[in-house]
Amino acid sequence: MHSLQAKIAFAYLSLAALVVGLSAVALIELSRIEGKVREGGKVAELFDATLEMRRFEKNYFLYGQTTDLEDHARFVARAQELSRRDTAVIDALAGQGTAARLERELADYARAMAALVNRPADESLAITVRAHGNRIVTLGESLALNERRSVDQALQNHQRNFLFFLGAVAAFLVLTGFLLARLVTRPLKAMETHMEAVASGQLTRLAPDSSDREFVSLTEAFNHVLDELERRQHTLVRSEKLASLGTLLSGVAHELNNPLSNISSSAQILKENQGVDADFRAQLIEDIDAETLRARGIVRALLDYSGDRDFRPIRVEIAELVEETLRFIKNKRPPGVELNIDIPAGLVVAADRPRLQQVLINLVVNAYDAMNDPKSGRTGELRIAACQVKTGEKDDDFPSPLGGCRSGGEAVEIEVSDTGPGIPSEILERVFDPFFTTKAIGHGSGLGLFIAYEIVEKHGGCMVADNRADGGARFRIRLPACLKESA
């Protein structure tokens, strides 16, 4: 039975069968109790007849009236009739032969009473009548008591059986609920956990946690969605990198134009002035060589940035990397925005240079966009600072990061902050989520900060976002410090 629907149907059919069985047993028990009640009515009718018979007997002894004697004879006949009619009931309650003994007692009682009517002065006959009457009433009382006990026992049996079957139904319900919960909630809980992981950017495939056809189909569909999402995310990540590359390329083109212009000028002088002295000629050639190396370095940086390659950490000096990054994207800097750079020389980390540069480009361009508001007419300030810290110190005000930074280790903290409007507090925890953006449609993919966060994590560092006390957003990055001379 590899279908959840079939298992649920089987469970409910079993429950329905159990309820129907309980109802049938209850109806049978009630039918038996009804029979007991009817038998009790017959015994009560016989007992009442014997009591009335004795009552008119006493009245006749006291008053000697003919009407009492007639009523007495009528109730004796009624008792005899009931005794013959309900022989089976009487024998069932008091034992085989009880009905016959009662009939004999009634017959002896009737003859004794008839004899007493003929000889009213015979006291021995009166004693005989009373003795027979007492035995008849005692037997009637015994029958009534046995009947009440029989009904009580039937009711107790019915109550016990009902409670037993009710407990069985409750146990079956609990067991069914537990099994269905395991069959349904466990796979759904696993899917919920994987969906939360997907929401946080971890595209982990879902392993089948149930052999039921419905969950297998759902798992396959979920994994297909994950594969498609992963493929599209790779496409979007590459698009985001190309967008950053375009930003870098526009600055590199301008930056590359300077050494090319210097090379061209020096070559033109050499071409037009063949008779320049040797020292000046050597200086021009040296300038051409230096500018050529400079241009080659710019092109190499661009190729390293744009190429798809493995993660290769090297020694990177933060001050030099920030200076190069700002130089490449200086055309993105809005008018009126000032730069405040506070990075001591010699601050080094082990990092993949192009990827770390991509993080800086993303943060700086985001800061420029936040402060680019021509309508307001206000100026802004971009501040980039860095320092060496020891994580986990008492005075360390670095908030708990989403990623992990080793506590107690030497780290380099890079801070990029601006004087823009800042980040609303309700979305601070979501700024690193994939596809989350506050920019207008068509102006942001929502992957820039997500990619930056992953790059920092790949370096063994962490990154957090918050707002400055005097306004504006602030991003802080911590990377393991490079304490050795070579990476």
pLDDT digits (tens, 9 = 90+) for 392-445: 666 666 765 544 466 667 889 999 999 888 888 888 877 877 666 666 544 555
Specify the higher pLDDT residue, 382 or 244: 382
- Is 125 among the domain residues? yes
- Looking at the fold, whether 147 and 8 belong to one and the same domain comes out as yes
Strand partners, 39: none
Domain membership of residue 198 (yes or no) is no
Determine contact, residues 53/133, Cβ cutoff 8 Å: yes
Is the pLDDT confidence value at 387 over 60? yes
Are 322 and 399 contained in the same domain? yes
**Chain centroid, CA 119 distance in Å:** 98
Q: How many domains does the chain have?
A: 3
Q: Looking at the structure, do residues 247 and 351 belong to the same domain, yes or no?
A: no
What does the block give as tokens for 302?
A: 């661009």
C-beta pairs of 218-224 under 8 Å, 24+ apart in sequence:
218/191, 219/187, 219/191, 222/191, 222/194
409 to 106, 353, 405: CA distances (angstroms): 112, 22, 8
Question: Distance from CA of residue 279 to its chain's centroid?
Answer: 81
Cα torsion 471, 472, 478, 479 to 10°: value is: -150
Confidence of residue 174 (pLDDT cuts 50, 70, 90): confident
For residues 156 and 103, state if they share a domain: yes
If asked whether residues 41 and 172 sit together in one domain, one would say yes
Q: Are residues 291 and 330 in the same domain?
A: no
Q: Residue 415: name the closest of 332, 478, 482 by CA.
A: 478
| Confidence band for 62, pLDDT divided at 50, 70 and 90 | confident
Q: Which two tokens stand for residue 438?
A: 């506050």
Q: Is the sign of the CA dihedral 221, 224, 226, 229 positive or negative?
A: negative
Is residue 448 very low, low, confident or very high in pLDDT (cuts 50, 70, 90)?
A: confident
For residue 188, which of 162, 214, 167, 169 has the smallest C-alpha distance? 214
Domain boundary among 260, 288, 308: 308
Residue 203 lies in a domain: no
| pTM higher than 0.85 | no
Question: Quick one: 160 and 97 in the same domain?
Answer: yes
Distances (CA, A) of 125 to 19, 110, 111, 122, 130: 64, 12, 10, 6, 9
Establish if 44 belongs to a structural domain. Answer: yes
Domain range for 317: 311-487
Q: Are strands 337-342 and 380-390 parallel, antiparallel or unpaired?
A: parallel
Pair (280, 382) in one structural domain: no
Domain contains 168: yes
Which of 444, 445, 436 has its CA nearest to residue 465?
A: 436
**CA dist., res. 261 & res. 287, Å (int):** 11
214 and 338 belong to one structural domain = no
In the DSSP assignment, the letter for residue 386 is E
User: Could you read off the pLDDT of 214-242 as tens digits, one per residue?
Assistant: 667 777 777 777 777 767 666 655 655 55
